[in-house]
């Protein structure tokens, strides 16, 4: 169990496109916060412009004791603290450091959410509703595998038309 008085990094969800405003407010109130930003080239019909965009949209990190979370939650742009099973979920210091190193090194990377290759999933819609399998490939499409262990065979199907949930 995490001590509520030890300062740790916590992730907070912000309203969409309110990350920078939240960072300014938190800095002004004395809360240590971190908003990972990277420069991206945005293109509109008539022009291109370099902007600083959040690496993780709608998230900001704060280094606080858990008992002080309400100081952050009172910011108008903050929606909630990230938690699992109603338990505080601190972000490890090494994960924050890794993000900082990536941004300082100026290397190309992409942030992905959702299902990844290797995840065990269950089909939640369509003809095969309830079947479990694994995501095995992603090249513009997701492939789903149903293992028939007794035969030593696998059925591979395109999963782009069904809804999957991670197990």
Give the residue among 96, 100, 115, 71 at the shortest CA–CA distance from 11.
96
**% of the chain exceeding 70 in pLDDT:** 79
Backbone angles phi, psi at 126, to 5 degrees: 90, -170
pLDDT average, residue stretch 84-100:
86
**% of the chain exceeding 90 in pLDDT:** 39
**Beta-strand relationship, 7-14 and 78-81:** antiparallel
Each residue's pLDDT tens digit, 41-83: 889 899 999 999 998 899 999 999 999 999 999 999 999 998 8
d(CA 112, CA 1): 29
d(CA 114, CA 42): 25
Contacts for 150 with CB less than 8 Å, ≥ 6 apart? none
CB 51 within 8 A of CB 36: no
């Amino acid at each position: 169990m995490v001590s509520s008085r030890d300062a740790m990094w916590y992730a907070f969800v912000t309203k969409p496109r309110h990350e920078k405003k939240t960072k300014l407010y938190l800095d002004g109130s004395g809360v240590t916060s971190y908003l990972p930003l990277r420069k991206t080239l945005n293109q509109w019909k008539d022009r291109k412009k370099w902007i600083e965009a959040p690496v993780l949209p709608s998230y900001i990190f704060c280094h606080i004791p858990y008992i002080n979370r309400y100081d952050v939650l009172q910011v108008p742009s903050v929606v909630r603290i990230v938690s699992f099973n109603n338990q505080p979920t601190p972000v490890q210091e090494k994960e924050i450091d890794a993000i900082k190193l990536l941004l300082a090194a100026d290397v190309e990377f992409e942030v992905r959410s959702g299902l990844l290759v290797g995840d065990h999933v269950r089909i939640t819609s369509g003809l095969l509703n309830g079947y479990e399998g694994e995501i095995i490939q992603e090249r513009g499409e997701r492939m789903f595998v149903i293992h028939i262990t007794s035969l030593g065979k696998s059925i591979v199907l395109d999963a782009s038309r069904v809804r999957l949930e991670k197990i």
